[in-house]
């Protein structure tokens, strides 16, 4: 039996585009005499459709699209993911389903059993879990078909009381197929492989696994679809961060040596690839081509500009330098060197006149109080006004340049440097931003060395340094990582050797600045716990604040 895996970049709610991609792969499979071609979880709708699932029209269009796709499945069968109406009178209105298409029609529907409801996932909000188990009989073989999470209950700390594959194993299947939407984080590839290998080893069956690839707003899907033999060896590994299509003969998987293993990326290289893909897809799927950002001479805006240039093309990234009375000359010089290295368009707009005008207007109402954070933030908001005006005038998307360390402790100005349509580095700690800069410069110096080595500064008052307000980033990032990603409390973090006052101060800053993060743009997710849809914290709360 010949089985093809189609690893595609879908677009949520874009039924015509998703349908065309699927049909194109089916036609290709038919020409190559493939028996079965497999597509990802919720391929027809895109993943995650979220509250689009509450509209009957959306579900009807999904099902209509699958019926149209089925017409092309004559000699070649297909497995396609989609939401379907729950036919039972009780329970949630929908199922997360896989349709088996053959001989021009939908032959069988298999529903997902384990519905993740943690971090970024909220499938139980919409879907009813499956409670009946059967294999698909096709050309003399029994296929145990499952959907994403259904194979994940083999870890050391199982989340569910049932294991769908245990139930399917009672029917003596010949192979396993799993269609998935497994989002990227920089630990996920290793974990995903381990989970799939455990399944192949436990059930002693070959396993075909197909994943999404591409970005859906903040969620990034890295692809990396896999084929494993019954000895739990990886027979083939598809591309990461790219669409891919490959055909396999099931007999070869059991008898031949490894076909292809994708190169293993370092953590920082995979983050870089994920961010480039995230920016590119965000613009493509929204129908925009050009970005704008404020280039400060600091490392965050430099790395953001570099990623945007790779994602969109240098000509499509407009950099605006907005020096003030507190800006150092090297900040301007470093920024100009950067844009020249990339050949990106840029302009210099002095903010002194606008800032003076705001100061003059507010002077009677500031009541003679001394210069403080109000004037500092006024500079950032002046820059924000200018950037948003240019964005509106020319149809650019403003890229936010804040990093995760700053976002965590509130080191940013609402309606100023926290403006933007997309946050590129909002899930990247400051120490990782430095690593990204070094990675970008691995072959030649694109980001000027002075940007990487000089002490970080917001340059909103004389001789200001980030270290005036924040602990050293090496320490800050480790405390933040333990609290945010690992959810450790203050006592646990202090027990690791960190100073008591420092830990309490950092955690207080994180929790009291939730109101700021609530108003930030979507953040490209690269970690196991990003700010945004996967981290839901109350704003008005007292815990650790």
Each of the 545 residues of the chain gets a pLDDT tens digit; together they read 999 999 999 999 999 999 999 999 999 999 999 999 999 999 999 999 999 999 999 999 999 999 999 999 999 999 999 999 999 989 999 999 999 999 999 999 999 999 999 999 999 999 999 999 999 999 999 999 999 999 999 988 889 999 999 999 999 999 999 999 999 999 999 999 999 999 999 999 999 999 999 999 999 999 999 999 999 999 999 999 999 999 999 999 987 767 777 778 999 999 999 999 999 999 999 999 999 999 999 999 999 999 999 999 999 999 999 998 877 778 899 999 999 999 999 999 999 999 999 999 999 999 999 999 999 999 999 999 999 999 999 999 999 999 999 999 999 999 999 999 999 999 999 999 999 999 999 999 999 999 999 887 766 667 777 777 789 999 999 999 999 999 999 999 999 999 999 999 999 999 999 999 999 999 999 999 999 999 999 999 999 98
Same domain, yes or no: 232 and 367? no
Same domain, yes or no: 274 and 363? yes
Catalytic annotation on 148? yes
> Strands across the sheet with 244-249, in order?
105-111, 94-102, 77-85, 36-38, 2-7, 244-249
Same domain, yes or no: 387 and 445? yes
Q: What's the rounded Cα separation, in Å, for the pair 168 and 170?
A: 5
Catalytic annotation on 21? no
pLDDT value, residue 236:
95
Please give the tally of structural domains in the chain. Answer: 2
Torsion of CA 511, 516, 521, 523, to 10 degrees: -20
pLDDT value, residue 458:
64
pLDDT value, residue 465:
73
DSSP characters over 369-438: PPP-HHHHHHHHHHHHHHHHHHHHHHTPEEEE---HHHHHHT-S-TTTTT--SEESSTTS-HHHHHHHHH
> Which of 241, 264, 287 is where one domain is finished?
264
Q: Which residue has the tokens 């050293």?
A: 472
Same domain, yes or no: 137 and 224? yes
Name the strand (E) or helix (H) holding 66: helix 56-70
The two tokens of residue 539 are 């704003």
pTM: predicted TM-score of the whole model, two decimal places: 0.95
End-to-end CA, the chain: 61
Catalytic annotation on 435? no
* Options 19, 21, 41, 239, the catalytic residue: 41
Same domain, yes or no: 307 and 232? no
Same domain, yes or no: 233 and 275? no
Q: Contact 92/123 with Cβ under 8 angstroms? A: no
Q: Which of 504, 477, 349 is nearest to 411 (CA)?
A: 477
> Which of 465, 486, 507 is where one domain is finished?
465
Task: Let me know if residue 401 belongs to a domain.
Answer: yes
Q: What's the rounded Cα separation, in Å, for the pair 199 and 151?
A: 7
Same domain, yes or no: 429 and 289? yes
Q: What is the CATH number of the domain that holds 279?
A: 3.40.50.620
Please list, in sequence order, all residues whose beta carbon lies within 8 angstroms of the beta carbon of residue 384, skipping any fewer than 6 positions away. 413, 415, 416, 417, 419
Q: What's the rounded Cα separation, in Å, for the pair 311 and 241?
A: 13
Same domain, yes or no: 290 and 366? yes
If DSSP codes are grouped into helix, strand and coil, which group holds residue 535?
A: strand
pLDDT value, residue 264:
84
pLDDT value, residue 331:
85
Same domain, yes or no: 227 and 290? no
Task: Let me know if residue 432 belongs to a domain.
Answer: yes
* Options 135, 148, 239, 376, the catalytic residue: 148
* Options 19, 21, 112, 529, the catalytic residue: 112
Same domain, yes or no: 234 and 293? no
Task: Let me know if residue 515 belongs to a domain.
Answer: no
Q: What is the CATH number of the domain that holds 93?
A: 3.60.110.10
- In the chain, count H helices and then E strands: 18, 19
Task: Let me know if residue 471 belongs to a domain.
Answer: no
> Which of 465, 489, 523 is where one domain is finished?
465
Task: Let me know if residue 6 belongs to a domain.
Answer: yes
Same domain, yes or no: 282 and 208? no
Residue 289: give the domain boundaries: 270-465
Same domain, yes or no: 36 and 89? yes
Task: Let me know if residue 472 belongs to a domain.
Answer: no
Task: Let me know if residue 378 belongs to a domain.
Answer: yes
Task: Let me know if residue 16 belongs to a domain.
Answer: yes
């Amino acid at each position: 039996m010949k089985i093809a895996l189609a690893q595609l970049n879908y677009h949520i709610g874009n039924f015509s585009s998703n349908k065309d991609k699927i049909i194109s792969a089916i036609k290709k499979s038919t020409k190559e005499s493939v028996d079965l071609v497999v597509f990802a979880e919720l391929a027809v709708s895109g993943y995650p459709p979220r509250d689009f699932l509450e509209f009957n029209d959306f579900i009807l269009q999904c099902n209509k699209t699958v019926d149209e796709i089925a017409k092309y499945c004559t000699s070649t069968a297909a497995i396609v993911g989609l939401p379907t109406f729950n036919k039972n009178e009780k329970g949630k209105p929908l199922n997360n389903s896989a349709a088996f298409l053959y001989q021009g029609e939908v032959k069988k529907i298999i529903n997902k059993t384990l519905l993740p409801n943690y971090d970024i996932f909220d499938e139980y909000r919409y879907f009813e879990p499956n409670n009946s188990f059967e294999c698909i009989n096709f050309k003399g073989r029994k296929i145990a078909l499952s959907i994403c999470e259904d194979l994940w209950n083999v870890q050391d700390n199982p989340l569910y009381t049932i294991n769908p594959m245990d139930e399917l194993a009672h029917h003596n299947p010949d192979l396993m197929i799993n269609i998935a939407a497994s989002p990227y984080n920089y630990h996920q590839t290793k974990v995903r492989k381990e989970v799939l290998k455990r399944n192949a080893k436990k059930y002693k069956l070959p396993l075909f696994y197909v994943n999404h690839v591409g970005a859906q707003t903040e969620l990034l899907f890295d692809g990396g679809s896999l084929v494993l033999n019954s000895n739990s060896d990886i027979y083939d590994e598809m591309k990461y961060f790219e669409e891919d299509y490959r055909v396999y003969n099931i007999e070869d998987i059991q008898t031949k040596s490894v076909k292809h293993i994708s190169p293993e990326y370092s953590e920082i290289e995979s983050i870089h690839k994920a961010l480039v893909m995230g920016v590119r897809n965000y613009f493509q799927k929204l129908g925009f081509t050009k970005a704008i950002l404020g280039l400060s001479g600091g490392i965050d805006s430099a790395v953001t500009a570099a990623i945007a240039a790779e994602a969109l093309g240098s000509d499509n990234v407009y950099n605006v330098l907005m020096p003030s009375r507190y800006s150092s000359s090297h900040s301007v010089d470093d920024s100009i060197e950067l844009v020249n290295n990339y050949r990106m368009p840029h302009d210099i707009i002095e903010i002194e006149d606008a800032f003076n005008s705001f100061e003059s207007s507010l002077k009677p109402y500031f009541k003679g109080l001394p210069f403080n954070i109000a004037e500092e933030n006024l500079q950032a908001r002046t820059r924000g006004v200018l950037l948003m005006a240019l964005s509106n005038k020319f149809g650019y998307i403003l890229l936010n340049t804040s990093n995760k360390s700053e976002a965590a402790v509130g080191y940013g100005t609402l309606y100023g440097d926290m403006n933007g349509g997309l946050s590129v580095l909002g899930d990247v700690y400051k120490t990782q931003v430095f690593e990204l800069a070094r990675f970008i410069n691995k072959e030649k110096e694109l980001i000027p060395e002075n940007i990487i080595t000089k002490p970080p500064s917001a340059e909103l008052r004389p001789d200001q340094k980030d270290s005036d307000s924040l602990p050293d980033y090496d320490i800050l990032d480790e405390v933040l990582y333990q609290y945010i990603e690992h959810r450790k409390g203050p006592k646990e973090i202090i027990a690791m050797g960190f100073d008591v006052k420092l830990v309490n101060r950092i955690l207080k800053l994180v929790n009291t600045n939730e109101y700021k993060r609530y108003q930030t743009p979507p953040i490209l997710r690269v970690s196991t716990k990003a700010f945004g849809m996967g981290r839901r914290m109350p704003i008005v709360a007292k815990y650790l604040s």
